[in-house]
Amino acid sequence: MTGDPENPEREAVAAFLDDTVARLRDWLAIPSVGVDPAHRADMDASARLLADTLRADGWPDVRVWDEGPALPAVYACLPAADPDAPTVLVYAHHDVQPAGPLDRWDHPPFAGTLVGDELFGRGASDDKGQVAMHLLGVRAHLAAIGARQPAVTIKLLVEGEEETGSPNLGRLVDDHAADLAADLVVFSDTPVYAREAPTVCTGQRGVYAAEVTFVGGQSDVHSGRAGGSVPNPVTGLARLVAALHDDRGRVRIEGFYDDVVEPTAAERADYAALPFDDDTWLANSGGARGLAGEEGWSTLERVWVRPTAEVNGFHGGYTGAGVMTIVPARASVKLSFRLVPDQRPEHVAEALRRFVAAHTPAGLHAEVVDVGDGVPPYAVDVAHPAVKALHEAMETAFDQPVRFSRTGGSGPAAVLRARLGVPVVYLGATLPDDRIHAPNERVVVSQLGRGAEAAAHLWRLLAERLP
């Protein structure tokens, strides 16, 4: 990137990029694995390092929130010079997934290894890289406007429990409602669609999971003694699983689609215009041998804007070596449902219970147990002025047309929307092939630079556009 008098944000990003990478490498060296209690001290060290970095950058109000059961979160506020300027809250997280099989990493997972334009390490993309992107974006914004205070008040919430499903985020937000009050949340934990097709993410699916168990007798029984005279729980549960979908791939649970909001024609046109290749999709989908799904929807639509019912595991009866002639006493299936706006996990939970009751054979007892609270889906209102500003900021930073996309995964955007009562938009610059949650996670440094530039443009634009 060279000096560009028309784009001082880009010039400033280029000036600070090496320093940003050096800091990120130090941060990646701290194994802040939130799910593993053995790494509790590393979570503290990770939060402290981020807080120290923010203070070094001149953020006047920086705090580590580590009271209560939640793993440490970092809060910071950099007020605008104009007290009437809008306030934006950036959400991200500093906890990371475990490294997984170490022998499958080409570089140490907790070192931060720079190879050309790629920085390798657990958390490089998900999500420390996107936090580093924002710190760079704020520095570039201040340099571009030649001020020590930003055009909008910028707040930062970097939580420590995203990879464990953000169990305490709602309480954290409620406990610090005054500190976190904002006009807009910028959620930074999603990728763009592809390096050659940068996008603004406009939604994430939700999720609801449950385990269904059919119980027959108190113990397994000899199939010669009783087989043919009592119901088999595995057979009953197989019938229930078979009844989950019709021949067109639609979920047959009554009421399942009642709250589903269909995408607009403009959204569908945007998705259809994105580069897409079946073979690449299949290769990136565990090497699946063919596509499947709900009739009438493209692959991207099936993953982004349609809900699913998935069997995650099915167990029952004898599965060891040789033969054991029994009628099993019980069988269970683990189910999960990806949800789209405006489905609610609690409504799907009720619909599933009615479906199970209707499909429980005589002589069997059914149990349905929710696994976790579920995560509601979230979609952005694309007509909101903040989305228009974000889109413009992305097009300027990426030097090309930017379309809308979504992701099929889940995150706490709906929690932030509900607790803070303000819109949430997604600003992310990482790539879908960054291998997050897998060995050799990396972030592409030039993508972080583009994302930081987009953020720097956004802060300037929001000062003009947000009421």
User: Which residues of the shown chain bind Zn ion in the complex (CB under 5 A)?
Assistant: 126-127, 189
Q: How far apart are CA 136 and CA 219, in angstroms?
A: 62
Minimum Å gap between C-beta 310 and Zn ion is 21
Minimum Å gap between C-beta 211 and Zn ion is 26
Q: How far apart are CA 394 and CA 48, in angstroms?
A: 31
Minimum Å gap between C-beta 386 and Zn ion is 22
Q: How far apart are CA 276 and CA 280, in angstroms?
A: 8
When the beta carbons of 183 and 189 are compared against Zn ion, the nearer one is 189
**Beta strands across the sheet bearing 330-339:** 308-316, 330-339, 206-215, 365-370
When the beta carbons of 315 and 435 are compared against Zn ion, the nearer one is 435
Q: What are phi and psi of 360, to 5 degrees?
A: -95, 115
Q: How far apart are CA 382 and CA 200, in angstroms?
A: 10
> How many residues are given for the chain?
467
When the beta carbons of 127 and 441 are compared against Zn ion, the nearer one is 127
Minimum Å gap between C-beta 417 and Zn ion is 18
Residue position matching structure tokens 């580093």: 132
Minimum Å gap between C-beta 93 and Zn ion is 6
Which residues are bridge partners to 45 per DSSP? Answer: none
- Residue type, position 145, single letter: I
When the beta carbons of 336 and 410 are compared against Zn ion, the nearer one is 410
Minimum Å gap between C-beta 462 and Zn ion is 24
When the beta carbons of 201 and 253 are compared against Zn ion, the nearer one is 201
When the beta carbons of 151 and 436 are compared against Zn ion, the nearer one is 436
Per DSSP (E only), the strands in 124-231 are 153-159, 184-187, 199-204, 206-215, 221-222
When the beta carbons of 120 and 297 are compared against Zn ion, the nearer one is 120
When the beta carbons of 213 and 410 are compared against Zn ion, the nearer one is 410
CA angle 312, 314, 317 (to 5 degrees): 165
Q: How far apart are CA 252 and CA 194, in angstroms?
A: 34
For 163-180, letters b (16+ CB in 10 Å) and e give bebbebbeebbeeeeebb
CA angle 32, 442, 299 (to 5 degrees): 110
